[in-house]
Each structure stands twice: as structure tokens, then as C-alpha cells.
């Protein structure tokens, strides 16, 4: 039997997730595949693999829309990029693009100075938490008295398509998140500091925060977490 055919049989049902998370013990998904073929590893050693038709863990509804499908197929293994287990994932409130993100610019007066309004698009990096990734935020509301801004994280495409709505705040602190808790390893508990993952976090890195609201609704467990720290 040819080597290529044998490799295909060994990797049957496997699709390279491209995460390179290291949870399997290898430095990359490509190296993991080679270890599986050589017999050093098994497919089940990958936290993103499940023996089903797709070869992946899936817990969300499928969509025929290619844009939605890329988000709905997001895999949550229960562990972040550092192999630390999180208690839950914070998903969007129904009909919203992402979990609500509550921020405070390094200069709080910018909320009033820039006249930040609903649907404005903000450019900035959560430098206060040590995150290296610039985020694009769509404003839900801004409080001129405190400088606190409630927003959604959205695609950079939104900023490029609406340049007249873009305002730059450069650096900000993350005050809190609000959304629906799913993929639960440890149930959100009022008053407890817990580890969680904001849905679609680009770094796939645990955040911690104090749970100060838990409300059971028809749409799921509505949770707010504040005093955010990445530790």
C-alpha cells in the first residue's frame, strides 16, 4: 500500500484545526499529524478532535452563510492557549455580534471630547490588560460623566467600510463583559472571581473577573463580569 493512502487511512476523519495550541504536546498541528502517522500520538490527543462526522468538537448551530459559518464553527476545548482551563465562555446576547465589552479609555474625558455616540467605531488596544491586539469596537453607549463605554467587538471590515464613523482612543482598560455563559466547566457564581473566555477571543487566552450578575433567561444564563484581569 502506498504511503499516501496509508496516511489518509490513519488520519481518517481528521481536519487540521490550525490552532498550533500545543495542548497535544507538539509545537504545531503539522508536527502532531506526523506523530499520529508515526504512531507516537493518537488523534484523541488533540483537544479539538472528536470522533464524529466532522472530526471536530462542535456545539453551535450550523449556517449556510459562509461568513456566519466561520464563527459558528468556532471550537472551544475548555482550555486556553496556555492549557489553562476556563470556567465558561461568554457568548453574545441573541441578535448581537459579540459579548458586550465595557471599557474605559486611558483618558476618560475622551468620551465627551470626541463626542462618542451609539454606532461610532473605536480603534484601540486593551493595553491596561496587557493585550497586544488592537480591537475594533462598535459603541452601544457612552457615559460622559465616567468615561465608561459599552461596546461590541466587531470586524476590521466595519471600520474600513465606515471611515466617517471611526474615532481613535488608542489605549483603554477593560472594565467588564456581559453576555450568555455557555461551554460551562464551572457554573458562574455571584461574587466569585472566575476564569472565562470571551467568545472568539483572538488570543484564546483566559480572562478573570468578578461575576456580579447572573440571571437565568429563556436565552440562557445572562452574566456580567467586571474587574477584568488577564492572569
Distance CA 191, CA 211 (A): 5
Alpha-carbon distance values, 97 to 4, 107, 200, 209, 214 (Å):
42, 27, 11, 22, 21
Give 10-residue mean pLDDT values along the chain (231 residues).
57 72 79 88 78 42 42 76 96 95 98 98 96 96 98 93 95 98 95 95 94 95 97 85
State whether 41 and 144 are in the same domain: no
State whether 99 and 51 are in the same domain: no
Residue 153 lies in a domain: yes
For position 42, what pLDDT does the model report?
A: 86
State whether 48 and 133 are in the same domain: no
Tally the domains of the chain: 2
Q: Measured between alpha carbons, how far apart are the two ends of the chain, in Å?
A: 51
State whether 199 and 155 are in the same domain: yes
For position 26, what pLDDT does the model report?
A: 84
Contact by Cβ (8 Å): 127, 86: no
State whether 219 and 106 are in the same domain: yes
State whether 34 and 92 are in the same domain: no
* H/E run at residue 139: strand 135-142
State whether 151 and 193 are in the same domain: yes
State whether 130 and 23 are in the same domain: no
Alpha-carbon distance values, 103 to 64, 66, 161 (Å):
34, 31, 23
Reference 196, options 113, 76, 94, 108; nearest CA is 76
Find the domain containing 162 and state its range.
Answer: 88-229
For position 60, what pLDDT does the model report?
A: 38
Task: State the maximum Cα–Cα separation within the chain, in Å, rounded to a whole number.
Answer: 73
For position 75, what pLDDT does the model report?
A: 77
For position 1, what pLDDT does the model report?
A: 40
State whether 93 and 206 are in the same domain: yes
State whether 206 and 158 are in the same domain: yes
Residue 43 carries which DSSP code?
G
State whether 40 and 93 are in the same domain: no
- Full DSSP string of 183-217: S-SS---TT-EEEEEETT-TT---EEEEEEEEEEE
Residue 36 lies in a domain: yes
Distance CA 85, CA 216 (A): 24
State whether 29 and 123 are in the same domain: no
For position 93, what pLDDT does the model report?
A: 95
Question: What CATH number did the domain enclosing 29 receive?
Answer: 1.10.15.40
Amino acid at each position: 500500500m502506498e504511503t499516501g493512502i496509508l496516511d489518509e487511512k490513519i488520519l481518517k476523519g481528521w481536519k487540521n484545526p490550525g490552532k498550533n495550541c500545543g495542548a497535544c504536546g507538539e509545537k504545531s498541528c503539522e508536527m502532531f499529524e506526523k506523530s499520529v502517522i508515526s504512531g507516537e500520538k493518537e488523534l484523541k490527543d488533540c483537544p479539538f478532535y472528536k470522533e464524529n462526522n466532522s472530526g471536530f468538537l462542535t456545539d453551535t448551530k450550523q449556517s449556510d452563510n459562509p461568513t456566519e459559518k466561520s464563527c459558528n464553527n468556532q471550537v472551544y476545548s475548555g482550555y486556553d492557549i496556555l492549557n489553562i482551563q476556563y470556567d465558561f465562555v461568554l457568548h453574545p446576547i441573541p441578535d448581537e455580534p459579540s459579548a458586550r465589552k465595557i471599557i474605559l479609555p486611558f483618558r476618560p474625558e475622551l468620551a465627551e471630547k470626541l463626542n462618542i455616540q451609539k454606532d461610532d467605531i473605536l480603534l484601540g488596544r486593551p493595553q491596561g490588560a496587557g493585550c497586544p491586539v488592537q480591537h475594533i469596537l462598535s459603541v452601544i453607549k457612552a457615559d460622559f460623566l465616567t468615561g465608561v463605554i459599552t461596546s461590541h467587538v466587531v470586524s476590521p471590515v466595519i471600520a474600513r467600510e465606515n471611515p466617517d464613523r471611526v474615532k481613535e482612543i488608542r489605549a483603554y482598560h477593560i472594565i467588564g463583559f456581559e453576555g450568555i455563559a455557555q461551554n460551562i466547566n464551572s457554573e458562574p457564581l455571584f461574587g466569585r472571581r472566575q476564569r472565562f473566555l470571551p467568545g472568539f477571543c483572538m488570543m484564546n487566552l483566559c480572562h478573570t473577573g468578578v461575576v456580579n450578575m447572573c440571571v437565568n433567561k429563556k436565552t440562557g444564563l445572562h452574566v456580567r463580569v467586571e474587574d477584568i484581569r488577564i492572569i
